[in-house]
Amino acid sequence: MSYKLLVNRLDKRVEFLRPPGVDDVDEYGEPLDDLIPVCTTWAAIEPLRGQDRYAAKQENAEVTTRIRIRYRKDVDRTMFAQYQDQTFEILYIIHPHLAKKELQLMCKERQ
């Protein structure tokens, strides 16, 4: 998919969240339990089906969704993507052509 086509399909507002670290505490010094917002960006959310899903199963049997975003340095595999009431765990990240234009996040939906 060309970059211009990708930009036209970024029609979902997705929030990226990270698990709390040891330094993340509330005002009383207690560790946080909730995921911490990192950034919000436009994305294309594509449920995998047919040949794409079969190919993804070769790599990881749990991949169900691909989320495409513009390239960002601050998104990594430890995070979760939240769209409306759906939460996706990022299993691995594909950086096409190392061109710093796009990231493809291979995810599974959390229940």
> What pLDDT, in 10s, does the model give residues 1-14?
555 555 568 999 99
> What pLDDT, in 10s, does the model give residues 60-76?
557 889 999 999 999 99
Cα separation of 23 and 73, whole Å?
A: 22
- pLDDT, residue 60, reads 52
Q: Which tokens in the block code for residue 62?
A: 């749990």
Say what the pTM is.
Answer: 0.78
Element (H, E) at 4: helix 3-9
pLDDT at 94 over 80: yes
For strand 36-47 and strand 102-109, is the pairing parallel, antiparallel, or unpaired? unpaired
Pick the CATH number of 3-109 from 3.40.50.970, 3.40.50.300, 2.40.10.270, 3.10.150.10: 2.40.10.270
